[in-house]
Amino acid sequence: MGNLILPGNPRYQPKKMIDVFGYDYLYTKAACVEIATLQVLGEIGVIPETEMGELTLDIIQKLQQIPTTKVDTIEREITHHDVRAWVRVAQEIIQVKIKRWVHIPLTSYDPLDTGRSLQFCEAYTSALCPSIKEVVLLLSDLTEKFADQLQVARTHGQHALPITVGFWLATILNRVVYNWEKINFFSAALEGKISGAVGAHNAQIGLGFNKLCGKKTFEARVLEKLGLNPAKISTQILPPEPLAYFLFSCCMLSATLAQLGRDCRHLMRSEIAEVAESFEADQVGSSTMGQKRNPINFENLEGMWIKTKNEFGKVLDTMISEHQRDLTGSSVMRDFPIIVINLQKQLDTLLKKNKAGVPFMRRITINKGACQKNLDISANLILAEPLYIALQMAGYQGDAHELVNRKLVPLAKEKNILLVKALEQSAENDPDLHSVVSTIPEEIWDLLHQPEKYTGDAKEKALETVEYARDRIADF
């Protein structure tokens, strides 16, 4: 094969996708559909047994290896039709009587749409699924490792409540696994069609093919050889929804990986520094500022999502067509593989090994000191939530949130003390408040002095998510 470039930007060419979507392989699956059709025609006696013997393994392999560039040449110079160009090349390869049966009783989109489903199935099983599995494994290990590492959570870019690094990572891990489950489901739901020019099986029924097939239809027998279920009903093209849902689920996983990139880019900022990418011996951080260590991999994760979500607009544009069949969408659909190619690129970014053979995800570091330092910045104020709820539960008759917000927070800031200390000082001159404070249970009072213990079930949820993720790895 000569031209193996993938759809999309030549800069992003994940090797695992080349055997599926490399340019000169684009008719491989369509050839599989044509071959399966010939085989069924032989099995039901339409093609004479003597001619079926001409369909040798060598010819089958040559048909599957017809390069796209060869088909392009015949299309441009002779047929001005892509499938008839392929048929012409196939007949030149066969050079025996059976060649006259090629493409009977098919229409163009029987092999093209069905072949496309086969391509995406293979892209998932041979490339995406193994890569996702490895990412889930590595992310599970990272989540477990830092399940109890304290970290301040952020909401609206502001310090919120204490959590753990593992809890944050588990929220990403959960989304990865969820979307993986959806990709797996929708890949299994991809369909094929051998239904003819308008989808009503006209030739198969009118010319008696189905009668020769016994209990199964001609379409079912062909698709069974290919491992696909037939669409319940089709026009000249497959219903667009199954492939669209598969590609959408790929987009959703892409978004989740971008979320990891966004979070890590933020946490890698100089003033936060809780997360760091590895920096290899010969790496350069900036073309001019030698001190910089840019988050190039995390940026790539997010950037690929921007590319991918805009590619999905093309999928939506093909949801409708004139009489459910016209050629306006055919050129657009040639770009659909870019979605899974971009997703594979994101996965490859996380799995890329350095010279020592260590994948990138194992080279992500968590700065425990920075995590503690950032938590300490807000330690005096971070327990505003439990403080106001404890006051309300203890019988405070006013709005405890207002008390904390308007009085205790300013006082704690002014004196650089814990909120609970500000409460104690305020209660000294307020008998009613003192009475309420004295009824707060001792274990809650102790908690209000220890921000690092107000982490809820962050650790437990992290480990629970890891356990579920590892179970799914075993399932897939």
pLDDT tens readout for residues 84-102: 999 999 999 999 999 999 9
Q: What is the CATH number for 361?
A: 1.20.200.10
Question: In this structure, what token pair is assigned to residue 307?
Answer: 């590319």
- 147 and 102 in a common domain: no
Domain that holds residue 168: 116-193+236-372
- Interval 190-205: pLDDT, tens: 999 999 999 999 999 9
Residue 293 has pLDDT above 80, yes or no: no
- 207 and 307 in a common domain: no
pLDDT on residue 285: 64
- 240 and 225 in a common domain: no
Of 245, 248, 342, 267, nearest in space to 303 by CA: 342
Q: Are strands 191-192 and 229-230 parallel, antiparallel or unpaired?
A: parallel
Q: How many domains, in total, are found in the chain?
A: 3
pLDDT on residue 290: 63
> Does some domain include residue 461?
no
pLDDT on residue 326: 78
pLDDT on residue 2: 87
Please compute the mean of the pLDDT values over residues 175-192 and round it to a whole number. Answer: 98
- 402 and 430 in a common domain: yes
Residue 476 has pLDDT above 90, yes or no: no
- Interval 26-62: pLDDT, tens: 999 999 999 999 999 999 999 999 999 999 999 999 9
- Interval 367-420: pLDDT, tens: 999 999 999 999 999 999 999 999 999 999 999 999 999 999 999 999 999 999
> Does some domain include residue 475?
no
Q: H or E stretch including 257?
A: helix 241-267
- 145 and 23 in a common domain: no
Would you say 325 and 236 are in contact if contact means Cβ atoms under 8 Å apart? Answer: yes
The Cα–Cα gap between 60 and 193 comes to 21
Q: Which of 372, 397, 418 is the last residue of a domain?
A: 372
- 70 and 24 in a common domain: yes
> Does some domain include residue 346?
yes
- Interval 242-292: pLDDT, tens: 999 999 999 999 999 999 999 999 999 989 999 998 776 666 666 666 666
Percentage of the chain exceeding pLDDT 90 = 91
pLDDT on residue 254: 98
pLDDT on residue 296: 81
Phi/psi of residue 155, nearest 5 degrees: -130, 135
pLDDT on residue 1: 63
Task: Answer left, alpha or beta for residue 461, where phi above 0 means left and psi between -120 and 50 means alpha.
Answer: alpha
> Does some domain include residue 304?
yes
Neighbour-count burial of 117, counting CB atoms closer than 10 A to its CB (0-12 exposed, 13-18 middle, 19+ buried): buried
Please compute the mean of the pLDDT values over residues 20-24 and round it to a whole number. Answer: 97
> Does some domain include residue 377?
no
- 177 and 128 in a common domain: yes
Name the DSSP class of 146: T
> Does some domain include residue 307?
yes
- 331 and 305 in a common domain: yes
DSSP class per residue in 380-405: TTTTHHHHHHHHHHTT--S-HHHHII
pLDDT on residue 51: 96
Q: Which of 352, 372, 392 is the last residue of a domain?
A: 372
- Of the two residues 328 and 245, the one the predictor is more confident about is 245
- Interval 412-439: pLDDT, tens: 999 999 999 999 999 998 999 999 999 9
- 157 and 49 in a common domain: no
Question: In this structure, what token pair is assigned to residue 407?
Answer: 């009085």
Percentage of the chain exceeding pLDDT 70 = 97
pLDDT on residue 291: 65
- 368 and 269 in a common domain: yes
pLDDT on residue 284: 64
> Does some domain include residue 19?
yes
Of 2, 11, 6, 72, nearest in space to 303 by CA: 11
Would you say 93 and 59 are in contact if contact means Cβ atoms under 8 Å apart? Answer: yes
pLDDT on residue 325: 82
Please compute the mean of the pLDDT values over residues 14-33 and round it to a whole number. Answer: 97
Whole-number average pLDDT of the chain? 94
- 102 and 25 in a common domain: yes
End-to-end CA distance of the chain: 32
pLDDT on residue 283: 65
- 19 and 91 in a common domain: yes
